Amino acid sequence: MTTFTTKDGTQIYYIDWGTGQPIVFSHGWPLSADAFEDQMFFLTSRGYRCIAADRRGHGRSSQPWQGNDLDTYADDLAELTAKLDLKNAIHVGHSTGGGEVARYIGRHGTGRVAKAVLIGAIPPLMLKTSANPVGTPIEVFDQLRAGVQADRSAFWKDLSLPFYGYNRPGAKISEGVRETFWLQSMMAGFPASYFCIKAFSETDLTKDLARFDKPTLVLHGDDDQIVPIAASALLSSKLIKGATLKIYQGAPHGMCTTLKDRVNAELLAFIK
């Protein structure tokens, strides 16, 4: 297993495939680096170096009680890029991973960054507030926390349906995809499963987006039931200077899996 140890003693597992310009992937809650395996295999096969870490508390990384917040996630990402001495890197973040990329740029700048891609990503702020009326009410996130506490295994199985749009009429359901989602989710530790909900829902990333000064692609499905587009991509694409927004009609949150060929081609075209 390829791992490194962070400054607070957390062991982080990462995948590192291929050679060439580095592409760094930041996955969503409650998954692991394996959530990007379709993109990584595709791009590594085309001459790129693809790197993805299991976020602390997730996948094969250690499960610390502390640090389940976007500041620490971003600092872990910075430690990984420094350890591997990555330069001219393309950062791709899905969901919470998009928030991680934003906070990484906000805290550490773009000295090592060439481009950024946010897919179904949480910025600028998911939570409904007086200043963010299009956000999601806190009660929805309280329900997620209650589900994690009540029966985590059943909760993940249920969550896979809206995650991939499998609860929509006429949806072609892959039980294999649902089982993979459940398996990755069950590898996340209980603290990360619970505390990351606050991290992804209540962290305001507006100021971080203002620090983006590299070409940025924003991809989002207009039927994303996990990170609704109105409070995310429609706003973040305006806050990031010069960002390109592409909306996938009818696409769910898990579009990197359900529409992997289209996403792969989109990434390759943007990277080139």
C-alpha angle 83-92-49 in degrees, rounded to nearest 5: 55
One of 58, 91, 224, 237 is an active-site residue; which one? 224
- 85 in active site: no
Nearest CA among 237, 229, 233 for reference residue 212: 237
- 95 in active site: yes
One of 26, 32, 95, 236 is an active-site residue; which one? 95
Distances 237 to 51, 115, 164, 223, 231 between C-alpha atoms, Å: 25, 14, 23, 17, 11
- Residue 250 contacts residue 223 (beta carbons within 8 Å): yes
Catalytic residues: 95, 224, 253
